[in-house]
Amino acid sequence: MLTAFARAFKTPDLRKKLLFTLGIIVVYRVGTHVPIPGVNYQNVQICVEQAAGKSAGLFGLVNMFSGGALLQITIFALGIMPYITASIILQLLTVVIPRLEALKKEGQSGTAKITQYTRYLTIALAVLQGTGLVATARSGALFSGCSVAGQIVPDRSIFTTVIMVLTMTAGTAVVMWLGELVTDRGIGNGMSILMFISIAATFPAALWAIKESGTLADGWIEFGTVLLVGFVMVGLVVFVEQAQRRIPVQYAKRMIGRRSYGGTSTYIPLKVNQAGVIPVIFASSLLYIPALVAQFSSGNSGWKSWIQAHLVTGNDPIYISLYFLLIVFFAFFYVAITFNPEEVADNMKKYGGFIPGIRAGRPTAEYLSYVLNRITWPGSLYLGLIALVPTMALVGFGANQNFPFGGTSILIIVGVGLETVKQIESQLQQRNYEGFLR
């Protein structure tokens, strides 16, 4: 692999793309440390230090996707999360709204239009989330238990609030632009690369916090155990993420004039984890809503006490059960809206394709649906178990909910890493160089 990296940097155009991507990553990481106007930076640092080693609570997921910039309240505090949310919403609406479905079928022009809608929705969500973050910081709820949490935003005027929200919205727009630059002129998918960097940037501090809080041999035993668990998890995730069921497809020969077309054999790859990390994000976001409502509600009603007792800590049996069941549900839900067996069967029939032993048309769609349901079960259970790793870490290592080798982070790190390596591999093979895979 190291030899392949050296050869990649020896190729002028590939080296240019790699250096451009690294340059964008540097700019992105610098932006995650630039505070927005109107924030008392010293008080923020005091609260961050007091919160070290504790759970990030409701904001843990967003803080992870922003590379720790959320709790620092910097210009990139919202990170890539508004774009991720907008992309998921547009993907779901494509199935519901006929206009969006028609645009998707138009090819490149329709995809460009949907991308434009995603950008608009990203800005709208950034304004909404930025306003919520400012309100949370002003109320002191961003760092509950911090002695100076209520003094993070000293000036509470409307003008200052508007400037803070506009700054974070502009930061989100810049992050989106940087991601698109990487996609066009760099290596890999830009948004995925920035997400990868955001998550990886939190690893060193989280690992060192585990070492500092350890008791066996000054924490080095816990540190080594966590590293070993992380390597094992990465290997298992790579194995499952690469696993797929290949359904053979045969295309009949067609004579057009004096030429024959078709007669080839191919396959439909159905991944075991067809839904990716989306079910975990859906389940986490849905479980955050009751806790968020309870946090901002006044009084001590029974429902608020029940939510704070069972849906906030993250290690309660009710929370764990709901989290696992929601992940399984959203895995089947997302696969159902992204893979249409009837559409695949119709396309195969249109071009003369068939699955050996299965009649074309409706029987093919039923067979694809049957196979998809069978492989989605182990995929959804795998997602649920991987997502519960941070909860087990809470008990085993006394770690916080931002355990570095948690389910969401590992799934994204491995997925983005595999796709980026494959893209570099393909470009190396085009130039007749030895790639990563031997």
pLDDT, tens digit, for every residue of 367-414? 999 999 999 999 899 888 888 776 666 555 555 544 566 667 788 888
* Contact present, 178 and 194 (Cβ < 8 Å): yes
What pLDDT, on the 0 to 100 scale, is given for residue 127? 92
What pLDDT, on the 0 to 100 scale, is given for residue 397? 53
Residues 293, 330: one domain? yes
Residues 140, 193: one domain? yes
User: Alpha carbon of 84 to those of 26, 239, 272: distances in Å?
Assistant: 21, 26, 23
Instruction: Name the residue type at position 311.
Output: L
150 within a domain of the structure (yes/no):
yes
Count other C-beta atoms under 10 Å from residue 179's C-beta.
22
Per-residue pLDDT, averaged over 58-77, amounts to 74
Instruction: Name the residue type at position 392.
Output: M
What pLDDT, on the 0 to 100 scale, is given for residue 55? 46
Structurally, how many domains does the chain consist of? 2
Tens digits of residue pLDDT in 244-288: 888 888 877 766 666 666 567 888 888 888 888 788 878 877 777
- Candidates 428, 401, 385; CA nearest to 4 is 428
Residue with tokens 């089947």: 332
Sign of the CA dihedral with 369 first, then 370, 371, and 377 last: positive
Residues 173, 100: one domain? yes
Residues 187, 306: one domain? no
Sign of the CA dihedral with 64 first, then 407, 280, and 242 last: positive
- Residue 327 in this model has a pLDDT that exceeds 80: yes
Q: Is 160 exposed, middle or buried (0-12, 13-18, 19+ CB in 10 A)?
A: middle
370 within a domain of the structure (yes/no):
yes
CATH of residue 12: 1.10.3370.10
Higher per-residue pLDDT: 303 or 199? 199
Residues 253, 197: one domain? no
419 within a domain of the structure (yes/no):
no
Residues 18, 74: one domain? yes
Q: Residue 320 and residue 151: Cα distance in Å, rounded? A: 35
Tens digits of residue pLDDT in 89-136: 888 888 788 888 888 878 788 888 888 999 999 999 999 888 888 888
Residues 163, 261: one domain? no
Residues 93, 129: one domain? yes
410 within a domain of the structure (yes/no):
no
For residues 230-264, b (16+ Cβ closer than 10 Å) or e, as one string?
A: beebeeebeebbeeeeebebbbeeeeeeeeeeeee
411 within a domain of the structure (yes/no):
no
413 within a domain of the structure (yes/no):
no
Q: From start to end of 23-139, where are the E strands?
A: none
pLDDT band at 173 (very low <50, low <70, confident <90, very high): very high
Residues 274, 365: one domain? yes
- Candidates 153, 101, 154; CA nearest to 131 is 153
416 within a domain of the structure (yes/no):
no
**Three-state DSSP class for 268?**
strand
269 within a domain of the structure (yes/no):
yes
* Tokens (6 digits) for 319: 């929370």
| Range picked from 123-127, 342-346, 430-434 for highest mean pLDDT | 123-127
Residue 354: φ, ψ to 5°: -155, 155
Residues 120, 11: one domain? yes
Q: Please report how many Cα atoms fall inside a 13 Å half-sphere around the Cα of residue 77, on the Cβ side.
A: 29
Residues 128, 275: one domain? no
Tens digits of residue pLDDT in 21-52: 999 999 999 988 888 888 888 888 887 776 65
Domain of 370 in residue numbering reads as: 206-405
Torsion from C-alpha of 259, 264, 270, 275, nearest 10 degrees: -20
Residues 168, 215: one domain? no
Q: Residue 172 and residue 119: Cα distance in Å, rounded? A: 10
